[in-house]
Amino acid sequence: MPEEKSDGESLRVAEIGPGLGDLTKELVRVRNVTAFEVDKRLCEHLADTLGEAIESDRLRLECGDVLERWGEESLLDEPYRLVANLPYYIATNIILRALKDPNCRSILVMVQKEVAQKFSAVAGKKEFSALSVLTQSAGEATLCFEVEAEAFVPPPKVTSAVLLITKERSDSNEKFERLLRIAFSQPRKKLFKNLSVAFGKDTIANLFDTLELESNLRPHEAETSIYHQIYNELKDILDGQQHKQPRASREWTRLQTS
């Protein structure tokens, strides 16, 4: 990993799920690392095999559930870069938390290819989703390369991919997320129809006229900037009304259950 600087100092790395420590051993060569491991037996293994790095404070080992450690606060009390081979079942949740975390500067993770595509897709691509919008609202995402199942022992049933997100800002806006949940509730339907279910046909017709949007626009065809314009026009309604919750799309179901 190339040495990177921020305000004259190297940023600490946060690693989630170090497992046997194969990646951790390489990371501590170039960075100070805080590793979060939920498995007590693996914590004991890491403490034994990486004892020298722990003694020199190049490695801080946190044993326990990282999601409980995260809570509503930053994962670390200093700026950091997230680097991890993320367990597939919590990958989406972890990335979303990191996007909102003001101390997280970048995210370099290996995840399921489908997840990486949803975070890195651009408008117009079929993979473009609410997750893509949230990522572009925070910075820039790149799907670096794919990792075939044969690279693992035992091999999983899916292809993996390495995803890099370079953050420019952090923002936690539940109302904006609620709008995206509505907009992408039925990704194959027209955006006009999805929004009309929650806000009423007349309101959305006036909105589309104001923003000069095509009525046949699909959710994946609208640029991130358009979603922010839509939010700015509808946020007062989001403040004042409780809308019927539409059927959640797959990425939001995964978000809620991860």
User: Which tens digit of pLDDT belongs to each residue from 136-151?
Assistant: 999 999 999 999 988 8
Relative orientation angle of helices 224-240 and 191-199, to the nearest 10 degrees: 10
Single-letter amino acid, residue 41: R
Q: Kindly state the percentage of the chain with pLDDT values over 70.
A: 89
Whether pLDDT at 38 is above 90: yes
Average pLDDT in the chain? 89
Q: Which of 7-16, 23-32, 180-189 has the lowest mean pLDDT?
A: 7-16
Can you list the domains of the chain with their CATH numbers? 5-167 (3.40.50.150), 174-257 (1.10.8.100)
CA-to-CA dists, residue 210 to 25, 87, 110, 206, 216, angstroms = 55, 44, 41, 6, 16
Q: For residue 207, give every residue at least 6 positions away whose Cβ sits within 8 Å of its Cβ, in sequence order, or none.
A: 195, 199, 213, 230, 233, 234
Question: Does the predicted model carry a pTM greater than 0.85?
Answer: yes
Nearest to 87 by CA among 63, 67, 117, 60: 67
Whether pLDDT at 20 is above 90: yes
Taking the C-alpha atoms of residue 111 and residue 147, their distance in angstroms, rounded to an integer, is 9
| Cis, peptide link before residue 154, omega less than 30° from 0 | yes
Whether pLDDT at 202 is above 70: yes
Taking the C-alpha atoms of residue 199 and residue 237, their distance in angstroms, rounded to an integer, is 8
Query: Helices (DSSP H) in 190-258: which residue ranges?
Result: 191-199, 201-211, 224-240, 250-257
Token pair recorded at residue 247: 């059927």
DSSP SS3 for 67 = helix
Classify the phi-psi angles of 147: left when phi > 0, otherwise alpha if psi is within -120 to 50, otherwise beta: beta
pLDDT of residue 241: 57
pLDDT of residue 156: 81
Q: pLDDT by residue (tens digit) across 58-110?
A: 999 999 999 998 977 799 999 999 999 998 889 999 999 999 999 999 999 99
